[in-house]
Amino acid sequence: MSDIFRSGFCCFVGRPNAGKSTLTNALVGTKVAIVSDKPQTTRRAIRGILSRPDGQLVIVDTPGLHKPRTILGQRLNDIVQTTLSEVDVIGFCVPADEKIGPGDRYIARALAQMKTPVIAIVTKTDTAKKAQIGAQLLAISELGDFADIIPVSAVSGEQVGLLADLFIAKMPAGPMMYPDDTRTDEPVETSIAELIREAALDGVHDELPHSIAVTVEEMRPRESNPEILEIFATLHLERDSQKGIIIGHQGARLRGVGTMARTGIEALLGRRVHLDLHVAVMAEWQRDPKKLDRLGF
């Protein structure tokens, strides 16, 4: 281990559902980014912080690069482009269990134009056989001139520590930027809204995942029992027809969303929570700049 303390920023880039958020959480050692099998789950540049005796790594989890169909989609791509221009090292994620496609090649070409070092990462190795992983490593090596190429599994933890070593080795010498017990710089309201959205995404299909946004309206200790934190939040949908899907028969699905989200929020805050969820329609919010601004995008 070097005597030089290194600190800086890295980010993961890849097409949607390439395992970026799961890998961010694995490196940080705790959940800072929500995870779903739905594309474009990540809608913000979420910072996770890994502190070690030899360095501090600020990991920026970005949305998946994709061909935008809405103003929201374009804004998500803009977040990625801005992040890429500001970090010290880029991690290019390609899943082990999917063939390299046009989206991967598009990202590789964009990265080749940048001066920032790129580490190519074959993710989800727990889902693929050794021969498949080997073939993917060869295929990704042909996409560009990468500083390193490494296979990892965020689920099993295989080679996650080695990936952290590779990132920190490429960071500039510099002081710690955050206290060593900080895991993210996300505002707590944002983390709570994301946990609610993660619960709402569970089990929904088709276009609905893209249409869900969550805002936290109010947080306050309960008057009769201040140990319980009351949280009032709204799930915003785009069409009236989507309300029935989220609410479910006699409200059963919404109650399930609340139960799942509350568990995650209580773990995050370390205290008991009463969660009050409201469902509202904000027509076509993904395509309306003013509505996007109101929702924080």
Instruction: Summarize pLDDT for 245-256 with one digit per residue, the tens.
Output: 889 889 999 999
43: confidence class by pLDDT, cuts 50, 70, 90: low
Residue 68: the pLDDT is 63
Residue 36: the pLDDT is 56
Residue 3: the pLDDT is 81
Residues 70-90, mean pLDDT to the nearest whole number: 76
- Give how far Cα 89 sits from Cα of 83, 115, 165, 242, Å: 11, 10, 12, 41
Q: Where are the beta strands (DSSP E) in 96-164?
A: 118-123, 148-151
- Of all residues in the chain, what percent carry a pLDDT higher than 90? 49
Query: Minimum mean pLDDT among 43-57, 95-109, 163-177, 239-253: which range?
Result: 43-57
Taking residue 180's Cβ as centre, other Cβ atoms within 10 Å add up to: 11
Residue pLDDT, tens place only, 104-146: 998 899 889 888 999 999 999 999 999 999 999 999 999 999 9
CATH number of 188-294: 3.30.300.20
Residue pLDDT, tens place only, 3-41: 899 999 898 888 878 888 889 889 988 877 766 555 555
Residue 258: the pLDDT is 95
Does 237 score more than 70 pLDDT?
yes
Residue 152: the pLDDT is 97
Higher pLDDT, 60 or 220: 220
Query: Minimum mean pLDDT among 65-69, 251-255, 272-276: which range?
Result: 65-69
Any idea of the CA torsion for 250, 254, 255, 261, to the nearest 10 degrees?
A: 180
Residue 194: the pLDDT is 85
- Domain boundary assignment for the chain: 6-169, 188-294
Q: Where are the beta strands (DSSP E) in the chain?
A: 6-13, 46-52, 55-61, 89-95, 118-123, 148-151, 213-221, 229-237, 273-281
6-169, CATH topology level: Rossmann fold (3.40.50)
Does 197 score more than 90 pLDDT?
no
Residues 182-210, mean pLDDT to the nearest whole number: 79
Query: Minimum mean pLDDT among 15-19, 101-105, 267-271: which range?
Result: 15-19
Q: What is the pTM of this model?
A: 0.70
Query: Minimum mean pLDDT among 122-131, 170-179, 225-234, 284-293: which range?
Result: 284-293
